[in-house]
Amino acid sequence: MFDKRKIIIIIITFGLFFSSILLSGCTKPKQWISYDGRIRNYIIHIPSNYDAEEPIPLVLALHGGGGNSENMQDKTGFNQLANEEGFIVVYPDGTGRLINRLLTWNSGHCCGFAFKNDIDDVGFIRTLIEQIQQEFLIDTNKIFITGHSNGGMMAYRLGSELSDIVAAIAPVAGSIGGKATEDSEVWTIPEPSFPISVLAIHGLLDENVAYDGGRGNKTTGTRSDISVNNSIDFWVEYNNCNPIPEIEESGNIIIETYKEGDMGTEVVLCTLINGEHWWPGSEKDPYKEISASELIWEFFKTHPKQ
């Protein structure tokens, strides 16, 4: 005999759960696609004011090494921005031995499971973008990618290898390459086929991905990284920007803007003098002088593909 009270409680619980989803925008439960013989997962958030008749920007946000889509969603606060500004945000998962933990991206010289197993993350992200374009009306001139740490490295790689479809990238605490081991050759992202705009955010005191390159005191594994300045120089030179930046200083923040790039591109470096290996503005940031998420979105919406 079924206990009617238990059934009613279950129905109410599910009702409250789905109501909370509807009221908070449209964050769907984790989605998946099959790519290269693997099931790949992602979270997608649709802004509450989404109109299927108007093209909408798309932002992909890549978690750091050892993270996952849930913690990237939590620390960035992009869902709220998406609701306010009207863009779709997607949080893909990297790969690892566990289903939902300790996940990494194959950024070229790093990291972990994805690098060691030569996972085709570039192909996965291209396929994921194509899948989302089939489901939603995406503005093809406003496809953007950001990421933190290993995800920032992956954002650099995707900016290079998906420059035909990506308008701008915003790596936080990333690098364009480096050495997987002390004896490895230096790996660097290839030259892109098209210019794209770049905003890089990096803490001067970062000990995980050292600002000046090489190995920091907290760098994981055996890798070393290319410096922030060399990463910026790569894009300034390729985009044919003015090599003399405009410089703004405010408190502990220095912003260098390289303008007049091909097809309207710009390269911007935001250095946090007291910054470490956190996402600026998140709970781990003790200063909260800037919100990386807000700065990134302001950059993205003013740098569509031309």
214-229: pLDDT as tens digits: 999 999 999 999 999 9
Q: Of 153, 33, 192, 168, whose CA–CA distance to 87 is shortest? A: 168
- Domain assignment of residue 6, yes or no: no
Is the residue at 196 inside a domain?
yes
**Closest C-alpha to 175, from 207, 141, 200:** 200
User: Average pLDDT in the 68-77 region?
Assistant: 97
Q: Which residues span the domain enclosing 279?
A: 28-301
According to the model, what pLDDT value does residue 127 have?
98
Helix 69-76 to helix 78-85 angle (10° resolution) is 60
pLDDT at 13 over 70: no
pLDDT at 6 (0 to 100): 43
* The pLDDT of residue 2 is above 90: no
Return the H-helix or E-strand segment holding 128.
Answer: helix 121-135
Per-residue pLDDT at 5: 46
17-50 CB burial, b ≥16 within 10 A, e <16? eeeeeeeebbbeeebebebeeeebbbbbbbbeeb
Rounded to 5 degrees, what are φ and ψ at 117?
-100, 10
Tokens of 218: 């907290």
Q: Is the pLDDT of residue 8 over 50?
A: no
pLDDT band at 52 (very low <50, low <70, confident <90, very high): confident
Name the pairing type of β-strands 177-179 and 138-148. unpaired
In a domain, 54, yes or no: yes
Tell the residue number behind the tokens 């925008």, with chain if given.
25
User: Do the beta carbons of residue 76 and residue 160 sit within 8 Å?
Assistant: no
Average pLDDT over residues 276-291: 97
Cβ atoms of 276 and 207 within 8 Å: the answer is yes
pLDDT digits (tens, 9 = 90+) for 104-146: 999 999 999 999 999 999 999 999 999 999 999 999 999 999 9
Placement of tokens 């890089």 in the chain: 200
What confidence score (pLDDT) does residue 25 get?
55
Residue 17 belongs to some domain of the structure: no
Which of the four pLDDT bands, split at 50, 70 and 90, describes residue 3?
low
Residue 22 is predicted with a pLDDT of 36
pLDDT tens for each residue of 24-38: 456 778 999 999 999
Asked whether the predicted pLDDT for residue 263 surpasses 80, the reply is yes
Element (H, E) at 18: helix 4-23
Half-sphere exposure (Cβ direction) of 221: Cα atoms closer than 13 Å? 20
Q: Is residue 176 part of a domain?
A: yes
The burial of 108, by beta-carbon neighbours within 10 Å (0-12 exposed, 13-18 middle, 19 or more buried), is given as buried
Adjacent-strand bridge partners of 58 = 88, 143
pLDDT given for residue 211 in this prediction: 98
Q: Return the CATH number at 120.
A: 3.40.50.1820
Q: What is the mean pLDDT of residues 2-14?
A: 41
**Confidence class for position 54, pLDDT limits 50, 70, 90:** very high
Measure CA 185 to chain center.
26
Has residue 10 got a pLDDT over 90?
A: no
Q: Is residue 11 part of a domain?
A: no
Position 9 scores a pLDDT of 37
Segment 243-257 shows an average pLDDT of: 97
Confidence bin at 55 (pLDDT 50/70/90): very high
- Is 197 inside a domain boundary? yes
Q: What is the mean pLDDT of residues 77-105?
A: 96
DSSP class of residue 12 equals H
Long-range own/partner contacts, residues 259-264 (CB < 8 A, 24 or more apart):
261/195, 261/197, 261/236, 262/195, 263/194, 263/195, 263/305, 263/306, 264/197, 264/303, 264/306
Residue 169 lies in a domain: yes
The DSSP letter of residue 14 is: H
Q: Tell me the average pLDDT of the chain.
A: 92
> How many domains would you assign to the chain?
1
Give residue 272's pLDDT band: very low, low, confident or very high (50, 70, 90). very high
H or E element in which residue 60 lies: strand 56-62
